[in-house]
């Protein structure tokens, strides 16, 4: 199998998979030791940039459909741990590193408004650990390693969410709720892994896949699958296992919300995808039945119900959180169509929605810097006094709705195509209906921004704050026009996963 490893001109490229993961992990303790606010921001940012660079290199290396394999410590799997990069996770790695870099720019100017200065170092350390966890989950091909990284990211996330308590004490209960839920999810996940190990005696994904196909019908494996789906369902906030999400997003600091909304749930969904396609056999009837009978209806319920709930929310962070639930519904729907097109649409939507939601949450964060709260009323007339932030918000909103020319349109179009290809007319109509709900709740905000009398006199936020917001907003447009980054790679990824 060694021939599959890409023999690049640089030896360096072979080590990229592990560098991707350990770069932030190594920087995190350094921050704590240095204990300097500015320096820790700088180091984190440099680390995130390095991650971004690595992920771009990786994406380039695998965008032709090949696979990069890395054996940790030279131990050959199934004994050793393997890191395995193909188009699917390279895309996710890119999304995570990109968002983390942009979010860190934003945190430079906004974090002091939410967290006391002496906590910044620890905050950044935690942030980097969370980043490590998310990257690790995506990069590894060892299922126990997935669990370990998942826990790293989750534990640091609980801490990060709790940081919101300096502004609103409810962040603590939100974080606690999330902790309980997340832990149960992780436990279920590890039980599932246990079952798999019991039945196959292996932890390497490829290896398990081979043995699973040899075993045939096996109750142990099926039970393992059930636990993994529920565990990941929790982590990805599948309705009705979503209750932790709205509060966690609402009360966490904006920086954290941005980062989590854009990446965390997507990573959990990625794990589910990876297990369905690379560990289990997606053609098995029990997998198909589960998706058809349970996940697809749940996805549709999420799509409609969460959008409707979002319409009535006055707290804008909560509104966007519910809209996130609906968007997760889209992704889950794409996956549960169990077709190549559906899977590709799901992957594309992960990336597009990641940028879109980050743009929205970040511009909300910028509003918040001025208004100090996030109720819809407080945005009155800000379209005039904060034109650039508002314009970025509008772009993000358009992308969320799925207006042509924005990223959201691409993924919704692909999803529509996939649904219709599979013959689900009703679902196609429901997708559009849910988009109409999105029009309503986005319009509600735009109306307040632009068509209300000014409530207070605010000034536009600083350029440093605007830069990351506009990077994201421009990404929303760029990804809507140039689809080679998302659609082409996603198609290759879907191809890889299906074969």
Nearest one of 406, 414, 241 to 328, comparing CA atoms: 241
With CB under 8 A as the contact rule, the residue among 128, 208, 229, 466 that binds other proteins is 229
CA angle 439, 463, 474 (to 5 degrees): 40
- Catalogue the long-range contacts made by 168-175 (C-beta closer than 8 Å, 24 or more residues apart): 168/251, 170/247, 170/251, 171/251, 171/252, 173/247, 174/244, 174/247, 174/248, 174/250, 174/251, 174/252, 175/248, 175/251, 175/252
4 makes contact with other proteins (CB under 8 A): no
For other proteins, the closer CB: 51 or 310: 310
240 makes contact with other proteins (CB under 8 A): yes
CB of 180 to other proteins, least distance (A): 4
243 makes contact with other proteins (CB under 8 A): yes
297 makes contact with other proteins (CB under 8 A): no
151 makes contact with other proteins (CB under 8 A): no
C-beta of residue 423 within 8 angstroms of C-beta of residue 342: no
281 makes contact with other proteins (CB under 8 A): no
With CB under 8 A as the contact rule, the residue among 44, 100, 140, 247 that binds other proteins is 247
426 makes contact with other proteins (CB under 8 A): no
28 makes contact with other proteins (CB under 8 A): no
With CB under 8 A as the contact rule, the residue among 113, 223, 308, 430 that binds other proteins is 223
CB of 117 to other proteins, least distance (A): 30
Tokens at residue 274, please?
Answer: 């990876």
Tokens at residue 46, please?
Answer: 């440099």
C-beta of residue 244 within 8 angstroms of C-beta of residue 256: no
Segment near other proteins (CB under 8 A), from 156-164, 290-298, 362-370, 374-382?
290-298
* Strands (E) located in 406-455: none
416 makes contact with other proteins (CB under 8 A): yes
474 makes contact with other proteins (CB under 8 A): no
With CB under 8 A as the contact rule, the residue among 100, 250, 465, 483 that binds other proteins is 483
45 makes contact with other proteins (CB under 8 A): no
170 makes contact with other proteins (CB under 8 A): yes
Tokens at residue 152, please?
Answer: 């790293």
One DSSP character per residue, 313-344 reads --BHHHHHHHHHHHHHHHHHHHHHTTSHHHHH
- Catalogue the long-range contacts made by 299-302 (C-beta closer than 8 Å, 24 or more residues apart): 299/238, 299/329, 299/330, 299/332, 299/333, 299/336, 300/329, 300/333, 300/427, 300/430, 301/239, 301/329, 302/238, 302/239, 302/242, 302/326, 302/328, 302/329, 302/332
C-beta of residue 420 within 8 angstroms of C-beta of residue 428: yes
Q: Does the bond joining 289 to the residue before it have cis omega, within 30 degrees of 0?
A: no
Q: Which residues contact 445 (CB under 8 A, 6 or more apart)?
A: 316, 319, 376, 379, 393, 397
For other proteins, the closer CB: 122 or 439: 439
Tokens at residue 272, please?
Answer: 């589910």
Dist. CA 49–CA 33, nearest whole Å: 21
CB of 468 to other proteins, least distance (A): 23
CB of 148 to other proteins, least distance (A): 22
With CB under 8 A as the contact rule, the residue among 189, 227, 322, 475 that binds other proteins is 227
CB of 481 to other proteins, least distance (A): 8
For other proteins, the closer CB: 106 or 158: 158
For other proteins, the closer CB: 145 or 247: 247
With CB under 8 A as the contact rule, the residue among 26, 36, 451, 464 that binds other proteins is 451
Q: In whole angstroms, what separates CA 366 from the centre of its chain?
A: 21
CB of 194 to other proteins, least distance (A): 15
413 makes contact with other proteins (CB under 8 A): yes
What residues make contact with other proteins under the rule CB under 8 A? 170, 173, 176-177, 180-181, 184, 188, 219, 222-223, 225-227, 229-230, 233-234, 240-241, 243-244, 247, 286, 289-290, 293-294, 403-405, 410, 413-414, 416-417, 420-421, 428, 432, 436, 439, 451, 483, 487
């Amino acid at each position: 199998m060694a021939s599959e490893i890409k023999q690049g001109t640089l030896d360096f490229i072979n080590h990229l998979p592990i560098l991707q993961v350990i770069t932030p992990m190594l920087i995190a303790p350094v921050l704590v030791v240095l204990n300097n606010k500015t320096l820790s921001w700088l180091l984190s940012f440099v680390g995130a940039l390095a991650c971004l660079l690595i992920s771009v290199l990786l994406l380039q290396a695998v965008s032709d459909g090949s696979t990069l394999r890395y054996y940790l410590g030279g131990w050959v799997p199934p004994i050793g741990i393997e890191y395995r990069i193909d188009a699917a996770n390279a895309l996710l790695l890119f999304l995570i590193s990109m968002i983390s870099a942009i979010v860190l720019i934003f945190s430079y100017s906004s974090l002091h408004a939410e967290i006391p200065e002496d906590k910044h170092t620890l905050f950044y350390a935690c942030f980097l650990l969370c980043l490590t966890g998310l990257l690790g989950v995506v990069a590894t091909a060892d299922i126990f390693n997935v669990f370990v990284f998942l826990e790293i990211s989750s534990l640091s996330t609980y801490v990060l969410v709790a940081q919101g308590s300096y502004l609103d004490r409810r962040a603590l209960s939100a974080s606690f709720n999330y902790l309980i839920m997340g832990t149960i999810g992780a436990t279920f996940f590890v039980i599932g892994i246990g079952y798999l190990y019991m039945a196959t005696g292996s932890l390497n994904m490829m290896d398990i896949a081979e043995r699973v196909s040899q075993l045939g019908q096996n109750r142990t494996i099926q039970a393992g699958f059930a636990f993994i789906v529920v565990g990941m369902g929790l982590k990805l906030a599948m309705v009705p296992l979503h209750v932790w999400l709205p509060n966690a997003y609402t009360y966490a600091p904006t920086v954290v919300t941005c980062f989590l909304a854009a990446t965390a749930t997507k990573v959990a969904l990625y794990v589910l995808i990876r297990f369905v396609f690379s560990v289990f056999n997606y053609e098995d009837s029990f997998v198909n039945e589960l998706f058809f009978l349970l996940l697809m209806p749940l996805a549709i319920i999420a799509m409609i119900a969460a959008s409707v709930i979002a319409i009535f929310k006055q707290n804008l962070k909560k509104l966007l959180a519910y809209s996130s639930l609906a968007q997760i519904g889209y992704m889950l729907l794409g996956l549960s169509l169990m077709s190549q097109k559906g899977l590709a649409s799901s992957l594309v939507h992960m990336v597009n929605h990641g940028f879109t939601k980050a743009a929205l949450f970040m511009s909300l964060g910028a509003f918040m810097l001025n208004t100090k709260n996030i109720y819809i009323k407080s945005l009155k007339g800000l379209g005039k006094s904060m034109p650039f932030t508002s314009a970025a918000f509008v772009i993000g909103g358009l992308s969320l709705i799925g207006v042509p020319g924005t990223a959201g349109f691409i993924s919704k179009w692909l999803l529509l195509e996939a649904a219709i290809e599979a013959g689900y007319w009703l679902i196609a109509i429901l997708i559009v209906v849910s988009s109409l709900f999105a029009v309503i709740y986005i319009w509600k905000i735009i109306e307040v921004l632009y068509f209300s009398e000014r409530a207070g006199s605010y000034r536009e936020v600083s350029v440093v704050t605007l830069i990351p917001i506009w990077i994201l907003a421009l990404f929303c447009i760029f990804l809507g026009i140039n689809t080679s980054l998302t659609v082409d790679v996603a198609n290759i990824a879907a191809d890889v996963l299906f074969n």
